[in-house]
């Protein structure tokens, strides 16, 4: 959302994470003291509307560790309000929700573009005011949170024409910053020049501490200009060198290529991921499934015979779940987005030309779709929007074991000396090798050219009218309206990229890279 100043609209986005509530040490007002056995949750509001809500924690000192991200907030004319609620559950009665306290936070007063750690006193409902009241007896607790506010000036679309069509970064910028200050007229081919992909790599090297941030911006800008598949193919060609000594770790490191493709899979693969994993993951978390197969992690009071029996039973159940997840993935392989498949086709072609080992053609693709997409989603399902709450410790352990199993399948390796207790899953891996090869071969092949464009393509027929309406607007009105299907705003992203480049430019050589956070990423 832009500010009221049309000449310099600003994108402002606070991100809060890991809130932690501590009850007040001083006595709170009557009726507001939380019980020892209680349930808490927090709501975040702007202008009376709820923008975010935490999960419910059953402890007087809850620790949520839950990120919230709010993009395009505007000019912060009203404060962010944090409401702390308590749920009381008496035997035989319906649950009662009561407001324990609240706090208004004026984001205009916070430092911008840097993470802040705050301890905020929470006041009783009738004391919500800025500045906070001096009467400390009204404090009912404290809320600890990490918050980052990004405020970015975004110019009119025409101001970024050179950046999009010619570029921003001169060769001297990537060779050592020889003093150019006008990023708009630096005159290099950066975003859309096919011959200068190395400039992007040099920028990634200089922004080593902000590789995630840079990758996110680049994939959004390239995708908006329909250059992403081409750019990733160029990066892959540079990274695939045919060196047999490093073949086993190809695409395992965090490079610009791997981080860009990781971000792109998350951008276009949401439906694919949900269809492949969603139902099974929710069932595991909802039922709080516990299937430990490491004898060392079982209760010490169990006898060796009891542990052996329990491990065997749990291994059989874990194998069933692994098969269930794998069957869901296999059945839904056709939902892999066509543009991802084009990228996988190119990567597999490059790897096949560079390495004699045919298994490299498989593991080069699984290094992305398994190790950087499916496995992280299984380990952190809430982060990938598969569930709405943090898994309990039992479910989390089961998910970890399932993720390990699928990672073994993706690596084409059996468990052995390093994790002998996982060897119970080797039969699953051996049994599914043929279906795994078929799976990779399918998603690394071109989709049917005669099929209608899918929703991840801007050629999807349902987008025709919105695109036409957007194009009919005058440039000033069109600015800031994101494009379908991924709600991309290349003008805003160019502004964020220019700011990132400027900050890197201003950072003294030899210093650690600046700490930046984006409204695009959780803090």
Burial (0-12, 13-18, 19+ Cβ within 10 Å), 486:
middle
Q: Let me know: does 16 contact 44? Beta carbons within 8 Å.
A: yes
Taking CA atoms, 369 is separated from 3, 273, 423, in Å, by: 39, 10, 24
pLDDT of res. 448: 66
CB count in 10 Å sphere of residue 434? 9
Q: Let me know: does 39 contact 50? Beta carbons within 8 Å.
A: no
**Dihedral of CA 444/450/454/458: which sign?**
positive
Expressed in percent and rounded to 5, the helix, strand and coil fractions of the chain are 50, 15, 40
CB count in 10 Å sphere of residue 405? 27
Q: Which helix (H) or strand (E) holds 228?
A: helix 228-239
Domain identity same for 81 and 116: yes
**Dihedral of CA 287/290/62/48: which sign?**
negative
pLDDT of res. 408: 96
Three-state DSSP class for residue 99: strand
Q: Which domain holds residue 376?
A: 266-443
User: At 56, which CATH number?
Assistant: 2.60.40.150
Q: How far is CA 178 from the centre of its chain?
A: 35
How far is Cα 364 from Cα 351, in angstroms, rounded to an integer?
7
Q: Let me know: does 168 contact 493? Beta carbons within 8 Å.
A: no
Q: DSSP character for 185?
A: G
Beta bridge partners of 23: 141
Domain identity same for 306 and 437: yes
85 occurs within a structural domain: yes
Domain identity same for 149 and 272: no
Q: And the tokens for 114?
A: 């840097």
Listed residue (125, 35, 41) closest to 89, CA to CA: 35
521 occurs within a structural domain: no
462 occurs within a structural domain: yes
Domain identity same for 191 and 216: yes
Domain identity same for 180 and 119: no
Domain identity same for 355 and 498: no
Domain identity same for 360 and 336: yes
Q: Let me know: does 429 contact 405? Beta carbons within 8 Å.
A: yes
- CA torsion angle for 163, 167, 168, 174 (degrees, to 10)? 160
Domain identity same for 435 and 493: no
**Dihedral of CA 280/284/289/292: which sign?**
positive
Greatest Cα pair distance in the chain: 77
Half-sphere exposure of 512 (CA within 13 A, CB side): 3
pLDDT of res. 63: 86
450 occurs within a structural domain: no
pLDDT of res. 195: 58
How far is Cα 143 from Cα 390, in angstroms, rounded to an integer?
19
Domain identity same for 119 and 163: no
Half-sphere exposure of 87 (CA within 13 A, CB side): 13
How far is Cα 294 from Cα 421, in angstroms, rounded to an integer?
5
How far is Cα 309 from Cα 315, in angstroms, rounded to an integer?
10
252 occurs within a structural domain: no
Domain identity same for 398 and 467: no
453 occurs within a structural domain: no
Helices 279-287 and 393-411, packing angle to 10 deg? 140
Q: Let me know: does 203 contact 174? Beta carbons within 8 Å.
A: yes
Q: What b/e readout covers 175-186, taking b as 16+ CB neighbours within 10 angstroms? A: eebeebeebeeb
User: At 270, which CATH number?
Assistant: 1.10.506.10
Taking CA atoms, 311 is separated from 304, 316, 362, 407, 425, in Å, by: 10, 9, 32, 21, 12
CA angle 383, 103, 136 (to 5 degrees): 135
Q: DSSP character for 483?
A: B
Provide φ and ψ at 19, rounded to 5°.
Answer: -65, 145
Q: And the tokens for 396?
A: 């989390």
Question: What is the domain count for the chain?
Answer: 3
Choose the final residue of a domain: 153, 174, 197: 153
3 occurs within a structural domain: no
Beta bridge partners of 512: none
pTM, 2 dp: 0.78
Q: What's the distance, Cα to Cα, between the start and end of the chain in Å?
A: 20
Half-sphere exposure of 374 (CA within 13 A, CB side): 29
Choose the final residue of a domain: 137, 153, 169: 153
How far is Cα 151 from Cα 10, in angstroms, rounded to an integer?
6
Domain identity same for 323 and 188: no
511 occurs within a structural domain: no
Q: Which helix (H) or strand (E) holds 318?
A: helix 304-331
Choose the final residue of a domain: 127, 153, 179: 153
Domain identity same for 271 and 419: yes
pLDDT along the chain (523 residues), means of 10: 29 48 47 58 89 86 84 79 87 82 87 85 68 61 88 82 54 35 39 66 82 92 88 90 75 92 95 97 95 90 88 96 98 94 95 89 94 97 91 94 97 93 96 97 82 71 78 78 83 88 69 33 29
């Amino acid at each position: 959302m832009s500010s009221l100043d049309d000449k310099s609209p600003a994108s402002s986005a606070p991100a809060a994470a890991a809130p932690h509530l501590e009850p007040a040490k001083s006595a709170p007002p009557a009726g507001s003291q939380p019980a020892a056995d209680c349930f808490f949750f927090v709501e975040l509001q702007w202008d009376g509307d709820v923008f975010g809500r935490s999960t419910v924690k059953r402890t007087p000192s809850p620790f949520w560790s839950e990120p919230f991200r709010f993009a395009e907030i505007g000019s912060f004319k009203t404060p962010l309000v944090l409401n702390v609620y308590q749920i009381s559950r008496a035997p035989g009665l319906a649950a009662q929700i009561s407001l324990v306290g609240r706090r208004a936070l004026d984001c205009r007063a916070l430092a911008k573009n840097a993470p802040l750690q705050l301890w905020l006193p929470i006041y009783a409902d009738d004391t919500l005011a800025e500045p906070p009241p001096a009467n400390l007896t009204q404090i009912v607790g404290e809320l600890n949170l990490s918050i980052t506010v990004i405020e970015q000036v975004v110019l009119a679309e025409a101001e970024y024409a050179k950046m999009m069509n010619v570029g921003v970064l001169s060769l001297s910028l990537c060779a050592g910053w020889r003093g150019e200050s006008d990023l708009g007229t630096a005159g290099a081919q950066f975003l859309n020049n096919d011959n200068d992909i190395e400039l992007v790599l040099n920028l990634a090297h200089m922004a080593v501490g902000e590789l995630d941030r840079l990758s996110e911006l680049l994939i959004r800008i390239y995708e908006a200009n329909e250059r992403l598949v081409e750019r990733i193919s160029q990066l892959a060609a540079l990274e695939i060198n045919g060196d047999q000594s490093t073949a086993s770790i190809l695409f395992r490191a965090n490079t610009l290529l791997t981080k860009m493709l990781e971000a792109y899979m998350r951008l276009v693969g949401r439906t694919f991921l949900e269809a492949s994993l969603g139902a099974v993951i929710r069932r595991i978390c909802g039922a709080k499934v516990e299937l430990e197969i490491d004898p060392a992690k079982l209760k010490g009071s169990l006898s060796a015979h009891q542990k052996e029996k329990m491990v065997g039973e749990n291994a059989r159940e874990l194998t069933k779940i692994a098969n269930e997840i794998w069957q869901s993935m296999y059945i839904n392989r056709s939902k892999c987005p066509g543009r991802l498949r084009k990228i996988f086709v190119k990567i597999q072609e490059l790897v096949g030309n560079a390495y004699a080992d045919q298994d490299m053609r498989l593991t080069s693709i699984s290094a992305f779709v398994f190790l950087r997409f499916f496995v992280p989603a299984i380990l952190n399902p809430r982060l990938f929007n598969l569930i709405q709450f943090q898994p309990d410790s039992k479910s989390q352990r089961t998910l970890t074991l399932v993720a390990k199993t699928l990672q073994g399948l993706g690596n084409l390796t059996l468990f052995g000396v390093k994790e002998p207790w996982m060897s119970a899953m080797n039969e699953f891996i051996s049994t599914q090798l043929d279906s795994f090869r078929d799976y990779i071969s399918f998603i690394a092949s071109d989709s049917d050219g005669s099929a209608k464009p899918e929703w991840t393509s801007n050629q999807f027929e349902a987008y025709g009218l919105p695109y036409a309406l957007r194009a009919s607007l005058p440039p000033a009105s069109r600015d800031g309206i994101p494009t379908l299907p991924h709600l991309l705003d290349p003008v805003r992203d160019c502004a964020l990229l220019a700011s990132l480049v400027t900050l890197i430019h201003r950072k003294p050589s030899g210093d650690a890279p600046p700490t930046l956070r984006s409204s695009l990423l959780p803090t």
